[in-house]
Amino acid sequence: MNKSKINHFFNRLPLHLAVIGLMLIWVVPAIGLLVTSLRPVQAINTNGWWMTLAALPGEEEYNQLCADCHGTDGKDLPEADLSDPEVVGLFPRSIQLLAMLGQEIDGQPHMGTLPLPDAQQAADIATQMKRLAGIESQPRLTLNNYIDSMVGYRGTKNYLADCEAGVQASGINCNISDLLNPRGMGRAFVNSVIVTVPATILPILFAAFAGYAFAWLDFKGRYFLFAILVGLQVIPLQMTLVPISRMYAELGLNGSFLGVWLFHTGFGMPYSIYLMRNFLGTLPRDLFESAYLDGASHWTAFRMLALPLAMPAVASLAIFQFLWVWNDLLVALVFLGGTKPVMTYQISNMVSSLGAGWHLLTASAFLSMLLPMVIFFAFQRYFVRGMLAGAVKG
Ligand code: HEC
């Protein structure tokens, strides 16, 4: 490395450190969320997600005190095979285990020179024995939280265990219809998609028409209209909630998808029109003029020229509008509420009703991130372009 390269490296260092720092701030909690959502409830309640790979309770004690003679898998003494459910079943409670350990075998202390476990250790060892025998399996990671959150299970164990045991919590049928349980994230996912797709397509479609008109149609007052449109962007959404919901009440639109679509369309349009007009306005004038000379109508010019060329702008608008509507809680809460719960509503509901239900909360949060993440990775390059489009022309 020559001197200028070294200089360059050190000049860039603060920038790189800052980027790495920002990345960690974002990624570490996200990983914590993901890991937590995959852990069994008992484990979440015992210790933090970074302890996921630490020993399970009882494992250590067992290996210290019993593994010498019985082996780590409990099989070393065939006449006292601790991986045999029948042998382990003789000691349903740790008290019985302790009492047995205190008895002598052929005149020798059971554990030889090793000390007897205390009550807590005995309880943990009993858990480990049950695990070895397969009576009580406690995997480190499980998908149960996701299943429970999808079907809206609110019992004390988990959905699969309950259904296997033939117990049916309220609202649970133990068949495929549970995915549409109104309390579950499965149903909420469907509702979110129903809300988001039209609320993304409609404003952009109208904005494309309007943007073309503002850019290439000569009509009276278009600058004035455009100025009003730009001005409309400063109106905060919150201010319109009450008047619009009163209007919706008269029209019977409260609690309907149509109401939310209209609302999001209205609020998505000013900025979309603004961006589309600026984008279409930068296309070469000659292009359109020669098209008109060749006898193309405005509709043809829009369809064959403007729209294909504006694809980058449309794509980035679509991505941002999609994310905005998908993550929106306020509008969904006011206009849909519990009648057609969307994912954000369902999660906010869980926070209040479940308190410390971390297993369901984390799984639900991840479920709601799933589609945006897929979209992000699929259209990654449009994100950058979209931000640039906003920066250069906005
Ligand atoms: C010094 C060796 C040794 C150690 C240490 C030891 N065991 Fe044993 N264990 C034995 C022997 C030997 C037997 C009797 C086998 C037989 O039935 O002939 C036995 C039997 C058992 C049985 C079966 C008893 C029955 O009535 O069926 C259980 C359960 C058991 N041990 C649990 C434990 C546990 C739990 C620990 C650790 C806290 C432990 N042992 C530590 C040697 C040991």
- The span from the CA of 301 to the CA of 296, in Å, is 6
- The span from the CA of 314 to the CA of 312, in Å, is 5
Q: With bands split at pLDDT 50, 70 and 90, how would you rate the model's confidence at 386?
A: low
How many other C-beta atoms are found inside a 10 Å radius of the C-beta of residue 62? Answer: 25
Intra-chain end-to-end CA distance of the chain, in Å = 42
Structure tokens, 266? 């209205």
Domain 185-393, CATH number (from 2.102.10.10, 3.40.50.1700, 3.90.420.10, 1.10.3720.10): 1.10.3720.10
Q: Is the pLDDT of residue 385 over 70?
A: no
For the CA of 91, the nearest atom of ligand 1 = 29
The burial class, CB within 10 Å (0-12 / 13-18 / 19+), for 297 is exposed
- The span from the CA of 332 to the CA of 340, in Å, is 9
Q: Where are the domains of the chain?
A: 3-51, 59-133, 144-180, 185-393
For the CA of 129, the nearest atom of ligand 1 = 35
Structure tokens, 91? 């000691």
How much of the chain exceeds pLDDT 90, in percent? 41
Name residues contacting ligand 1 (CB within 6 A): 65-66, 68-70, 77, 79-80, 82, 87, 90, 100-101, 105, 110-112, 114, 117, 125
Distance of CA 31 to the CA centre of its chain: 12
Q: Mind listing the pLDDT tens digit for each residue in 45-81?
A: 778 888 888 777 788 889 989 998 999 888 998 888 9
If you measure from the C-alpha of residue 133 to the centroid of ligand 1, how many angstroms do you get, rounded to a whole number?
A: 15
If you measure from the C-alpha of residue 143 to the centroid of ligand 1, how many angstroms do you get, rounded to a whole number?
A: 36
Q: With bands split at pLDDT 50, 70 and 90, how would you rate the model's confidence at 365?
A: very high
If you measure from the C-alpha of residue 65 to the centroid of ligand 1, how many angstroms do you get, rounded to a whole number?
A: 10
- The span from the CA of 228 to the CA of 136, in Å, is 68
pLDDT given for residue 54 in this prediction: 78
For the CA of 116, the nearest atom of ligand 1 = 38
- Closest residue by CA, ligand 1 atom 20: 80
- Closest residue by CA, ligand 1 atom 11: 110
How many helices and strands (H and E) does the chain possess? 21, 2
Residue 91: DSSP 8-state:
-
